[in-house]
Structure 1
Amino acid sequence: MTQQPHPDAAKMTVTCAIVTVSDTRTQETDKSGQLIQQLLLSANHSVAAYAIIKDEPAQIQEQIELLGQSAKLDAIIFNGGTGIAPRDTTYDAIEKLLEKTLPGFGELFRFLSYQEIGSRAIASRAVAGVYQNKLIFSLPGSSNAVRLGMEKLILPELTHLVSQMRK
């Protein structure tokens, strides 16, 4: 049985941005970005920005820096580019900018992934941390991975993490 953390004192709406990192997806074919939006809205959070960018480190870092300047944003959720293929640069681009890391996010994501897909989970470089007082989450691009990360890790802890950053 999984132990539940103490409940957060107050419900809050967290304002998020969604960034899909892909060389091929469009708004019409971005099922993972659409799923993140749907799950956030279902949990009474808001989506203030959405973008699809190429898997280029400079574009990823520019997007983080741009979104990091928005006072209304609390969190940025990336999906895509977390593997080890030559074009998978999301982890490398994000990790360099993080001011604080949340190592448990990647560790737990890989553990949960292992339970679903077995040893292939070692190829995931999911990462999370803080940049410019914004939570940053980076998930693989598959819809199954997005659902897993959102439902098991991000949504249960999003309001708690934002309230911790605001202290």
Structure 2
Amino acid sequence: MSRIDETMEFIPVRIAVLTVSDTRVAEDDKSGEVLVSRLLAAGHELADRRILPDERAEIAEQLRAWCEDGAIDVVITTGGTGLTGRDVTVEAHRDVYEKEIDAFGTVFTMVSMNKIGTSAVQSRATGGVANGTYLFALPGSPGACRDAWDEILARQLDFRHRPCNFVEIMPRLDEHKRRK
């Protein structure tokens, strides 16, 4: 079963947080603050934090820039994963992904079902990998960010998590680009 192996050393990862919103500013970015407070409390490093409007090209451009930055291991976005016309974060993520982590959305839906019932079907949370960087798109509500962090990301971004985790395979994410 899933567990933390306390005999192993914790390895902090460098995480960038992007809030996608046409209306939020730093002072009222509750979802971004949930993510930042949790990642710092877990012992990770905040590599960068930004707020961008719901513009697909701008979001994808920022994701690509962070994926090119060797000082960033993980990008978490919040907002823009719903079904309305302005919700384009998932499309921007998919413009950048080399590989999608299909089960991330599935597991997030399972977690959400336990919290909000069938309303979980309205979320399009997603995860993927690009240029050796993990990317996760979460809904814009503080509750959804808490659920995703507490139930999925806190464990998968902890090297000590067993039987496996995202951190232990980080060095191999871009192995296909190396010379043989």
What range describes the TM-score normalised by the shorter chain of this pair? over 0.9
Cα distance per residue 1:40-79 (max 9 Å; x no partner): 0000000010000001000110101111111011000000
Identity score, percent: 36
AA in 2 matched with 1:37: V
- State whether residues 135 and 162 of structure 1, in contact with CA within 8 Å, keep that contact through their aligned partners in structure 2: no
State which of 158, 162, 166 in structure 1 corresponds to 2:167: 162
* SS, match of residue 134 in structure 2: strand
Structure 1 regions of 5+ residues with no counterpart? none
Tell me the distance in 2 between the aligned counterparts of 1:4 and 1:78.
Answer: 26
Q: How far did 1:5 drift?
A: 4.8
User: Aligned runs of 1:1-167 on 2, under 5 Å?
Assistant: 3-5=1-3, 7=5, 9-159=8-158, 160-167=165-172
Q: 1: distance between equivalents of 2:97 and 2:45?
A: 23
* 1:139 Cα offset (Å): 0.3
Distance 1:50 1:121 in 2: 27
Aligned 8 A contact 1:100 1:130 in 2: yes
Structure 1 SS opposite 2:145: helix
Aligned residue pairs total 165
Question: Based on CA coordinates, which of the two structures has the bigger radius of gyration?
Answer: 2
TM-score w.r.t. length of structure 2: 0.88
Provide runs of 4+ in structure 1 moved above 3 Å: 5-10
Unaligned runs of 5+ in 2: 159-164, 173-180
CA RMSD, 1 decimal: 1.3
Q: Distance in 2 between matches of 1:5 and 1:135?
A: 22
* Secondary structure of 1:28's aligned partner: helix
Q: Secondary structure at the match of 2:113?
A: helix
**Quick one: distance in 2 between partners of 1:162 and 1:53?**
27
Alpha-carbon distance, 1:10 to partner = 3.3
